[in-house]
């Protein structure tokens, strides 16, 4: 049902109309081009191909279907994107339709139920078991109240590494399900991911628990461990404390971006309820897209050390790209919001928020402090450090104002600053694009090249499947495409979208979108595919022949049983004959 719905939406909606709501597109032959909405650029590298309903950016290399575009730009999961597009297309969805395959939806629901149950157990253990006394003392020492621990559902994972598996087995969970739950190491169910750790449940915007972050109280091992990626948990798209903060963010019109869980909790305990944090990774563009839904202003509240200063600049640039205006909450080196609350109280934390600094002034001040601006080399260093920030600004007025300020602080001419930054930005963008393109080009094997060509020219798949099998392929990505094409072939599904949606690999989807957009497979495609098939089949046969020869050499001289040797020789003769045919072009 899901694929039928996707096909109907694709037939009724033009990707040009959908994308055109977010950026200006201009016709260029059979395609449309515009400035990419996913990265900052001045020259259009974003392309839309209406014939295949695909988009691709030659600058940042994002690409895919109409569904991928909405998921990316609106930060929606597939279910949300499908409902959104179905409404635009006038396609009615069944009341029970989830927007994804029913088996995936059932797994997602089961995972959420599992995490809710485990979180409740962690909470209970923290509050009631003697073994959790070490955790209670730690949290008390950090100044956390009972109320704030309840608000964030903080718990304790026992030191006993057999506890969680035994507990979940008594609740009827199968081992196969638990292996994919994200609660155990890839080594097996005997290795729980969390033991002897203070547990911070991670929630989505609906306040459903989708993962955990666990802090050890030992002096060895990683301080924090986060849940791995699962069907319901994606680090790049979720933020800690978001569900606790949405109402306050909307009321105040801005959010506070912190570095970690304890900082978020500190702000909330101080009555500042609009604080969130990335989940163990650097702040991402996907997270910025999420936050733009709720507010277009932010206060960045990172640690005062040098690492924190670098992280501030990166976060500011990401926010600017999403048109989120930022200010900076300044802390002394070695100080963070949690420490400030603990050592100096709520008033000190509120005072920091009242004395925020403009992002440009903060970044320029740091750049000047790190350079000797009395020397020409030092002035050049400052301009270099300001380049990415200036490039992230979408307003010419703001950009000109910043360049004037830089020129004034350095005591140089405005035009010189403008020329240096413009030249550096062009060089950086060119090198980045060339490097990425070269990496992608070099990473495409002959097998992957063939399978992408077949995606573009679907009528050739019946020929391909009659001559090569999936076992003939070595490249994992080529195998993924082969499987998707085979499923579509058996279900008589001809749409491009039906192949791409089966892949569930954004990088692979983007690569296919790039190749379709570039039209490099549209010339002599039949001959190209036939040549590739012959080459791949020949390589596969040569590999099998090599294995047979190796086995024949390993047979002892005094071998009394000739059956195995005869079978191997017979198979070798057959393979030799097939290779000869391929070389003759038969």
Domain residues for the domain of 188 are 101-233
Q: Tell me: the pLDDT tens digits for 290-324? A: 898 788 899 999 987 778 888 899 999 999 888 89
Residue 436's pLDDT is 43
How many angstroms separate the CA atoms of 34 and 374, rounded? 43
What is the structure's pLDDT at 434? 45
Residue 98 — φ and ψ, nearest 5°?
-95, -15
Burial of 303 (0-12, 13-18, 19+ CB in 10 A): buried
Residue 381 to residue 374: CA distance in whole angstroms: 12
- Which pLDDT band holds residue 273 (cuts at 50, 70, 90)? very high
Tell me: pLDDT of 375 over 60.
Answer: yes
- Do 416 and 321 share a structural domain? no
Which of 431, 453, 477 is the C-terminal boundary of a domain?
431
Question: Which domain-ending residue is among 190, 215, 233?
Answer: 233
Q: Are residues 126 and 78 in the same domain?
A: no
| 70 CB-side CA count, 13 A | 23
Asked if residue 437 belongs to a domain, the reply is: no
Asked whether residue 221 falls in the same domain as residue 295, the answer is no
Contact 462, 530 (CB under 8 A): no
Asked if residue 575 and residue 529 are part of one domain, the reply reads yes
Task: Work out the average pLDDT over 506-519.
Answer: 80
Q: Is residue 180 part of a domain?
A: yes
Residues 157 and 85 both lie in one domain: no
Helix ranges, 412-458 (H): 414-443, 446-456
Alpha carbon 463 to its chain's center: 36
Contact 337, 263 (CB under 8 A): yes
Tell me, yes or no, whether 462 and 384 share the same domain: no
What is the model's pLDDT at position 263? 94
Give mean pLDDT, residues 484-493: 81
pTM over 0.85: no
Contacts 24+ apart (CB under 8 A), 437-446: 437/58, 440/61, 440/511, 440/514, 444/511, 445/474, 445/475, 445/478, 446/532, 446/535, 446/536
Residue 296 and residue 395 in one domain? no
363 in a structural domain: no
Please give the pLDDT value at position 415.
86
Place 440 in a pLDDT band, splitting at 50, 70 and 90.
very low
Domain for residue 79, yes or no?
yes
CATH number at residue 128: 3.90.980.10
pLDDT at position 188 is 87
CA dihedral angle for residue 413, residue 416, residue 418, residue 420, rounded to 10 degrees: -150
> What is the number of residues in the chain?
586
What is 19-50 written as a DSSP string?
A: HTTTS--EEETTEEEE--SSS--SS--EEEET
- For 15-27, the pLDDT digits (tens) are 999 998 888 888 8
| Tokens 């020259």 -> residue | 43
Q: What is the mean predicted confidence (pLDDT) over 156-184?
A: 92
Are both 419 and 528 inside the same structural domain? no
User: Rounded mean pLDDT of 147-151?
Assistant: 95
Q: Assess contact for 284 and 328: CB atoms under 8 A.
A: no
Q: Compute CA distances 455 → 225, 242, 448, 513, 522, whole Å.
A: 40, 40, 11, 10, 11
Instruction: Identify whether the C-beta of residue 3 lies closer than 8 Å to the C-beta of residue 99.
Output: no
Q: 289 with 203, same domain?
A: no
User: How large a percentage of the chain has pLDDT more than 70?
Assistant: 89
Query: Higher-confidence residue: 275 or 84?
Result: 275
Mean pLDDT of 131-158: 95
Task: Compute the distance between CA of residue 121 and CA of residue 327 in angstroms, rounded to an integer.
Answer: 40
Same structural domain, 476 and 550: yes
Say if CB 241 and CB 221 are below 8 A apart. Answer: no
In the predicted structure, residue 563 carries a pLDDT above the cut 80? no
Are both 114 and 59 inside the same structural domain?
A: no
Which pLDDT value is given to residue 581? 67
Query: Do 414 and 291 lie in a common domain?
Result: no
The residues that bridge with 33 in the sheet, in sequence order, are 26, 47
Question: What CATH number is attached to the domain comprising 71?
Answer: 3.90.580.10
Q: How many domains does the chain have?
A: 5
Residue 365 in domain? no
CATH number at residue 561: 1.10.860.10
In this prediction, residues 392-417 reach a mean pLDDT of: 88
The pLDDT tens digits of the residues spanning 341-359 come to 999 999 999 999 999 999 9
Q: Which of 68, 89, 110 is the last residue of a domain?
A: 89
Give the separation between CA 111 and CA 89, rounded to whole angstroms. Answer: 32
**What tokens were used for 153?**
């559902």
What the block records as the tokens of 303 is: 């640690």
297-301 and 255-258 beta bridge pairing: parallel
């Amino acid at each position: 049902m899901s694929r039928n719905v996707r096909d109907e939406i694709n037939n009724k909606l033009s990707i040009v109309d959908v994308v055109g709501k977010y950026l200006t597109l201009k016709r260029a032959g059979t395609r449309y081009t515009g400035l990419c909405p996913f990265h900052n650029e001045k020259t259009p590298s974003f392309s839309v191909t209406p014939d295949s309903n695909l988009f691709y950016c030659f600058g940042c290399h994002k690409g895919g279907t109409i569904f991928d575009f909405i998921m990316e730009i609106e930060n929606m999961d597939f279910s949300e994107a499908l409902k959104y597009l179905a409404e635009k297309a006038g396609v009615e969805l069944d009341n029970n339709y989830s927007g994804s395959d029913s088996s995936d939806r059932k797994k997602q629901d089961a995972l959420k139920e599992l995490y809710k149950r485990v979180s409740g157990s962690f909470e209970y253990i923290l509050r009631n078991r003697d073994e959790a006394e070490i955790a209670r003392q730690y949290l008390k020492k950090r100044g956390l109240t009972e109320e704030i621990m309840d608000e964030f559902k903080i718990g304790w994972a026992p030191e006993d590494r057999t506890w969680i598996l035994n507990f979940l087995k008594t609740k009827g969970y199968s081992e196969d399900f638990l292996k994919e739950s994200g609660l155990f190491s890839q080594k097996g169910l005997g290795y729980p991911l969390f033991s002897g750790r203070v547990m911070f449940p991670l929630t989505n915007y609906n306040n459903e628990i989708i993962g955990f972050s666990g802090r050890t109280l030992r002096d060895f091992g990683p301080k924090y461990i986060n849940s791995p990626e699962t069907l319901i948990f994606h680090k790049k798209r979720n933020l800690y404390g978001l569900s606790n903060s949405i109402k306050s963010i909307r009321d105040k019109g801005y959010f506070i971006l912190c570095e970690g869980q304890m900082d978020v909790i500190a702000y909330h305990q101080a009555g500042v309820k609009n604080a969130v944090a990335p989940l163990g990774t650097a702040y991402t563009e996907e997270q910025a897209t999420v936050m733009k839904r709720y507010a277009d202003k932010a206060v960045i509240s990172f640690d005062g050390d040098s690492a924190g200063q670098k992280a501030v600049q990166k976060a500011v640039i990401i926010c600017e790209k999403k048109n989120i205006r930022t200010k900076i909450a300044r802390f002394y080196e070695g100080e963070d919001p949690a420490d400030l609350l603990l050592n100096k109280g709520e008033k000190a934390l509120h005072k920091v928020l009242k004395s925020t600094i403009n992002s440009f002034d903060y970044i320029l001040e740091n750049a000047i402090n790190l350079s000797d601006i009395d020397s020409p080399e030092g002035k050049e260093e400052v301009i270099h450090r300001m380049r990415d920030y200036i490039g992230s600004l979408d307003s010419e007025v703001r950009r000109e104002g910043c360049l004037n300020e830089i020129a004034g602080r350095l005591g140089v001419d405005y035009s010189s600053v403008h020329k240096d930054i413009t030249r550096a930005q062009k060089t950086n963008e060119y090198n980045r694009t060339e490097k990425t393109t070269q990496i992608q080009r070099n990473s495409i094997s002959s097998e992957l090249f063939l399978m992408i060509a077949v995606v573009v020219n679907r009528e050739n798949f019946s020929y391909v499947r009659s001559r090569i099998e999936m076992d003939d392929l070595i490249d994992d990505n080529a195998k993924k495409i082969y499987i998707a094409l085979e499923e579509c072939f058996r279900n008589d599904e001809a749409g491009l979208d039906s192949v791409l949606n089966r892949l569930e690999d954004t990088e692979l989807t983007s690569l296919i979108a790039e190749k379709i957009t570039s039209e490099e497979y549209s010339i002599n495609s039949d001959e190209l595919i036939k040549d590739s098939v012959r080459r791949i089949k020949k390589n596969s046969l040569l590999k099998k022949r090599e294995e047979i020869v190796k086995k024949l050499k390993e047979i002892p001289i005094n071998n009394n049983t000739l059956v195995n040797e005869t079978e191997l020789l017979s198979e070798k003769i057959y393979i030799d004959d097939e290779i000869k045919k391929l070389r003759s072009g038969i």
